[in-house]
Amino acid sequence: MPDLSTNTGGIQSPNPFWLASAPPANSGRQIQRAFEAGWGGAVWKTLGVPIQNVSSRFAGHTIRGVQAAGFTNIELITDRPLETNLREITETKKLFPKNPIIVSLMVETEVEWREIIKKSIDAGADGLELNFGCPHGMCERGMGSAVGQEPAVNERITGWAVKYSTVPVLVKLTPNVGNIVPHGLAARRGGAHGVSLINTIKSIIGVDIDRFIPLPRVGNLSTNGGYCGAAVKPIALHMVAALAREKQFGLPISGIGGISNWRDAVEFILLGSSTVQVATEVMLRGYNIVEDMTDGLQEYMRTHGFDRIDQMVGKAIPAYSEWGHLDMNYETVAKIDADKCIGCQLCVAACHDGAHQCIHPQQDTRVPHVDEAECVGCNLCQIVCPVPDCITMTPVDNGHSPASWNEFANEGTPLRPKKGAH
């Protein structure tokens, strides 16, 4: 069987699946049960100066009444006493010596960082994760995303942590920035052994339209929260890949953001993550989801010829390019499988109202007609079709050699005629 063990910045793990720093990693008993279920590691819910959390704390984003696609969360760091957390870290390490415990930390001053780092390591921490991402409730004290949005501050505090730590230090980056690369490079300059990303995204999940109060409601007020869950995965993948392909970066990455199953994990690994962290899906379905994740990952590795996780890390990065390098002469058109088509006409509605008016209903058959002369290969019909593999995007041999926009603009390389410009 393929080897699932990983090394992220010096943190060894029996498999790449970690609990993220969040409610599922809030106590020793929780993390012990997670390890019993098969999780490789856990990032302990952020330690710091004890605080009081509010009630309510979460609000869900559902799409058409189905399972929540995401959460907004206004819960802060642990509100459990520091000494209680430290004692439970020690207890958990004794029970599960091979499973790494990474302790998430967020405090203000250098003295506080030095003290809490020593206490965490003495308790048995295998690594530290600096929480530079909390998007609410701690920023006014110069913590969380207030640090993550300022590369110079990120670098300075990372330097403090590395100076005082005897275990690997990961920096958890905030996605609430325009470009993640300068922030990853700041962590590197500070001496970090790796980064984890993304943290949650500043958001308002919705509004109570009867009370006129944003959600989640705390009395008669609310605040912005941190958005997480399946809906943030595309943003997370983009930021992970942006760092993974940055030649000056070169640090290990622990990927976070909307990982719900083994396929999601594979995508993060192929774009540069050596481990993946999960929270929201555990909140929805429990710790046992890791069984399907590990089984699915192993089977994927077996069928694709991977013996170790490190053979997969970043495998898709060479195919991630800038728009100007894409082949403008590559052409696909939609093909509808008449045997699979159920005649729902969703592709017709989508194409006529939202795309390029190339799919038309036919009076004598349930199967719509694709006008290939007008089809630009936008993929919308395939996306809305409810039948798997009914619509495929088929490459067309148009007689034109590959040519990018850069080649056209700089060298005059000819491009194929436009379509869909009627």
Q: What is the 3-state secondary structure (H, E, C) of the chain?
A: CCECCEEECCEEECCCEEECCCHHHCCHHHHHHHHHHCCCEEEEEEECCCCCCCCCCEEEEECCCCCEEEEEECCCCCCCCHHHHHHHHHHHHHHCCCCCEEEEECCCCHHHHHHHHHHHHHHCCCEEEEECCCCCCCHHHCCCHHHHCCHHHHHHHHHHHHHHCCCCEEEECCCCCCCCHHHHHHHHHCCCCEEEECCCEEECCCEECCCCEECCCECCECCCEEEECHHHHHHHHHHHHHHHCCCCCCCCEEEECCCCCHHHHHHHHHCCCCEEEECHHHHHHCCCHHHHHHHHHHHHHHHHCCCEHHHCCCCCHHHCCCHHHCECCCCEEEEECCCCCCCCCHHHHHHHHHCCCCEEEECCEEEEEECCCCCCCCCHHHHHCCCCCCEEEEECCCCCCCCEHHHHHHHCCCCCCCCCCC
| Residue 134 among the catalytic residues | yes
The single residue of 134, 228, 378, 381 carrying the catalytic annotation is 134
- Which positions are annotated as active-site residues? 134
